Amino acid sequence: MDQSWEVVQEGLFYYPLDAGQVPALLANRCTHCGKTFFPKRNLCPHCFEEGVLEDICLSHRGIIYACTVVHIPSPVGIKAPYAYGYVEIPQNQIRIFALFTGADPFTFTPGQEVGLVVEPIRENQNGQEIIGYKFKPISSGH
Amino acid sequence: MPDLNFSLSPVGEDKRKDHGIFTGATVRNVYVIGVGMTQFGKHLNRSLRALGFEACLNALRDAGVRPKEIEAGYCGNALAPSLQGETGVGQNVFWEVGINGIPIVNTENACASGSTALREGWMAVAGGFHDMAIVAGVEKTVMPKGTMLNVGGAEMETQLGDVFPGYFALIARKHMERYGTTREQLAKVSVKNHFNGTLNPYAQFQKPLTVEEVLNSMMIADPLTLYSCCPNSDGAAALILCTREKAKKVRPRAVRIAASVLTTGTYENQRDITGWEVEQRAARKAYEMASLGPGDLEVVEVHDAFTISEIIHYEGLGLCPPGEGGRLIGEGATDLNGRIPVNPSGGLLSKGHPVGASGVAQVVEIIWQLRGEAGKRQIRNARVGLAQIMGGNKEGDTRACTVHILIKD
């Protein structure tokens, strides 16, 4: 049976989510040097074969490091204007590229707290929904 | 200057005369004896090989060299396999000018494809494998209206919606946030380069722009407007390289390659995005190879794909301390008549950016400047020049960066 959706890239996050399951980005971490990698790597570039990579889920909370608003439609089919940037995940000491959602694209600012969502980001030529990950504002104290 | 660490290696004058000493290895000096390029712009009815033919023929004529004297060929091209369905562009182009039989290598390193070809050619001559080589860069990226360039499609970031101007907008906003760089300073890069372009008959754009026109042009990715971004272009450029011995017959016009460096990004995840370590490292190594520092430069060509890029390259190359690139453009230091002119050719912003050709064309401009053949945009008595270009985004870092230093002895 044809699926009505496709993930943007295999192995980035759990999808579809079971009822009550929290969205999470799938990463791995070198047990030797402690570095975290997203997307997952097959080998730690620092420790080579002395390192063992263990699977982890990244914390779903991050802080915006840098952001912009793109005013032209993206070649992969995202409508303008849309916001994106880099999100730092303090708990995992990693920075990841991400689209922003859940607010006016012009309102995102560096230092802002954001939380992970997994949802459609665009459609492909066959009308299938492409599922990706994004970050949305979260009010502090949540 | 503070925060800079461009150490000079002690190299004896006597040894430098005939040999360059590079990181312990002794190699031969390499000279550029011929240059050529096409006008950059829209060449809808001309093929890659027609553009390459013109550039290579001009370079051969300029050097006074016949095709059969060339011992190896290196050709940079980035997008022909995806845009024109053409591979092996080097063999196609070089045969147009009658070069066959010899080793020919095609190089792809995104925007640094052409400069990577130059480094390959330099290594071959410096290393003693060939006495004379041709280097070319050829590209056609002007597409029918409405066609999207499909570049970087294998990257996760691209699939999520990242676009080139957006990536540079993130960098610009961080630079503004940290150092107080202004939108006006960013716009001034484009104004300067478009003015220089009006003095260069090879430039795609021949119209000056004002700060207001740059700021008020269509917003692409905040803070970068349309005139803050380089255009898609068609064009080709070529160089003839040879040994000191072979250069003797054209000695007054020969320009020495004093440094040729290629670096790759480290993809450090939490790096400071207001500078490119890959470029700072390339610059340090190049200054060391050439036994000089940024203060010795008299003309510079940098990879101004976006206005913010040029400002960060000032800092990466040590033309000013980190964070002061905005002030450097603001005070006019990099104007044609400034302390250190940058992008006298008009840069990518005005001259155009045929991806694989740009790195070679930068060196063509430096050589015209050092020979005193740059016409209305001539910088007086320039003797030492530098060309920097880098290409390809990977994990928020840059794949490849080259720095070349050229000296008219």
3-state secondary structure B113-162: HHHHHHHHHHHHHHCCCCCEEEEEEEEECCCCCCCCCCCCCCCHHHHHCC
* Contact assignment for B219 to A110 by CB distance below 8 Å: no
CA–CA gap between residue B114 and residue B359 (Å, rounded)? 5
Average pLDDT estimate for A63-70: 98
CA–CA gap between residue B164 and residue A134 (Å, rounded)? 19
pLDDT of residue B150: 66
B98 lies in the same domain as B174: no
Instruction: Burial-class residue B282 by CB neighbours within 10 Å (0-12, 13-18, 19+).
Output: buried
Under 8 Å CB-to-CB from B81, ≥6 apart: which residues?
B87
* Contact assignment for B160 to A8 by CB distance below 8 Å: yes
B215 lies in the same domain as B74: no
Of A67, A68, A76, the CB nearest to B158: A76
* Contact assignment for A68 to B269 by CB distance below 8 Å: no
Q: Does A67 touch chain B (CB under 8 A)?
A: yes
Instruction: Burial-class residue A14 by CB neighbours within 10 Å (0-12, 13-18, 19+).
Output: middle
Q: Any idea what the CATH number is for the domain that residue B98 is in? A: 3.40.47.10
Q: How far is A21 from chain B (nearest CA, A)?
A: 23
Amino acid making up residue B211:
V
pLDDT of residue B10: 39
pLDDT of residue B282: 98
Nearest CA in chain A to B171: A66
Work out how many domains chain A is built from and give that number: 1
B347 lies in the same domain as B266: yes
User: At B328, which helix (H) or strand (E)?
Assistant: helix B325-330
* A88: pLDDT strictly greater than 50: yes
Q: How far is B332 from chain A (nearest CA, A)?
A: 28
Average pLDDT estimate for A85-92: 98
CB contacts < 8 Å between A and B, how many? Answer: 86
Domain boundary among B222, B256, B290: B256
* Contact assignment for B161 to A70 by CB distance below 8 Å: yes
B84 lies in the same domain as B200: no
Instruction: Burial-class residue B85 by CB neighbours within 10 Å (0-12, 13-18, 19+).
Output: exposed
Name the residue among B409, B353, B357, B359 with its Cα closest to residue B384.
B409
Query: Is A142 inside a domain boundary?
Result: no
Disruptive mutation site among A71, A96, A131, A134 for chain B (greatest number of B CBs within 10 Å): A71
B136 lies in the same domain as B275: no
Q: Is A89 helix (H, G, I), strand (E, B) or coil?
A: strand
Work out how many domains chain B is built from and give that number: 2
pLDDT of residue B154: 85
Query: Is B11 inside a domain boundary?
Result: no
CB B133 within 8 A of CB B33: no
CA–CA gap between residue B293 and residue A40 (Å, rounded)? 41
Nearest CA in chain B to A39: B156
Domain boundary among B256, B291, B311: B256
Q: Is A92 helix (H, G, I), strand (E, B) or coil?
A: helix
State both tokens at B325: 């690139």
B209 lies in the same domain as B350: yes
CA–CA gap between residue A51 and residue A42 (Å, rounded)? 11
Contacts of A39 in chain B (CB under 8 A): 156
B383 lies in the same domain as B358: yes
CA–CA gap between residue B58 and residue B62 (Å, rounded)? 6
Query: Is A93 inside a domain boundary?
Result: yes
Query: Is B73 inside a domain boundary?
Result: yes
- Phi first, then psi, for residue B137 (nearest 5°) are -135, 130
Q: Is B23 helix (H, G, I), strand (E, B) or coil?
A: coil
Confidence at A109, pLDDT banded by 50, 70, 90:
very high
Q: Which domain holds residue B282?
A: 157-230+259-407
Q: Does A86 touch chain B (CB under 8 A)?
A: yes
pTM of the model: 0.94
Query: Is B6 inside a domain boundary?
Result: no
Query: Which ipTM value was assigned to this complex?
Result: 0.95
* Contact assignment for B166 to A9 by CB distance below 8 Å: no
Query: Is B16 inside a domain boundary?
Result: no
B90 lies in the same domain as B211: no
* A141: pLDDT strictly greater than 90: no
Domain boundary among B192, B221, B256: B256
pLDDT of residue B8: 39
Q: Tokens 């330099």 identify what position?
A: B122
pLDDT, one tens digit per residue, over A9-47 is 999 999 999 999 999 999 999 999 999 999 999 999 999
CB A61 within 8 A of CB A89: yes
Query: Is A20 inside a domain boundary?
Result: yes
Query: Is B3 inside a domain boundary?
Result: no
Q: Is B301 helix (H, G, I), strand (E, B) or coil?
A: strand
Buried residues in B29-59 as b, exposed as e (16+ CB within 10 A): bbbbbbbbbbbbbbbeebbbbbbbbbbbbbb
pLDDT of residue B14: 41
Q: How far is B168 from chain A (nearest CA, A)?
A: 9
B301 lies in the same domain as B398: yes
Q: Does B143 touch chain A (CB under 8 A)?
A: no
Greater pLDDT, B249 or A110: A110
B272 lies in the same domain as B329: yes
pLDDT of residue A2: 67
Q: Does B218 touch chain A (CB under 8 A)?
A: yes
State both tokens at B366: 């430096």
* Contact assignment for A75 to B221 by CB distance below 8 Å: no
Q: What is the pLDDT along chain B (409 residues), one digit of tens a residue?
A: 334 444 334 344 444 444 444 555 679 999 999 999 999 999 999 999 999 999 999 999 999 999 999 999 999 999 999 999 999 999 999 999 999 999 999 999 999 999 999 999 999 999 999 999 999 999 999 987 666 666 778 899 999 999 999 999 999 999 999 999 999 999 999 999 999 999 999 999 999 999 999 999 999 999 999 999 999 999 999 999 999 999 998 888 999 999 999 999 999 999 999 999 999 999 999 999 999 999 999 999 999 999 999 999 999 999 999 999 999 999 999 999 999 999 999 999 999 999 999 999 999 999 999 999 999 999 999 999 999 999 988 998 999 999 999 999 9
* Contact assignment for B173 to A66 by CB distance below 8 Å: yes
CA–CA gap between residue A91 and residue A102 (Å, rounded)? 23
Query: Is B170 inside a domain boundary?
Result: yes
pLDDT of residue B152: 78
B48 lies in the same domain as B192: no
CA–CA gap between residue B407 and residue B245 (Å, rounded)? 17
Q: Does B220 touch chain A (CB under 8 A)?
A: yes
Of B157, B160, B273, the CB nearest to A66: B273
The mean of the pLDDT values for chain A is: 94
Of B149, B158, B174, the CB nearest to A66: B174
Query: Is B40 inside a domain boundary?
Result: yes
Query: Is B7 inside a domain boundary?
Result: no
Q: Does A70 touch chain B (CB under 8 A)?
A: yes
Q: Which domain holds residue A28?
A: 5-137
Contacts of A82 in chain B (CB under 8 A): 161
Task: Give the start-end residues of each E strand in chain A.
Answer: 5-7, 26-30, 36-37, 53-57, 61-70, 82-89, 94-100, 113-123, 129-137
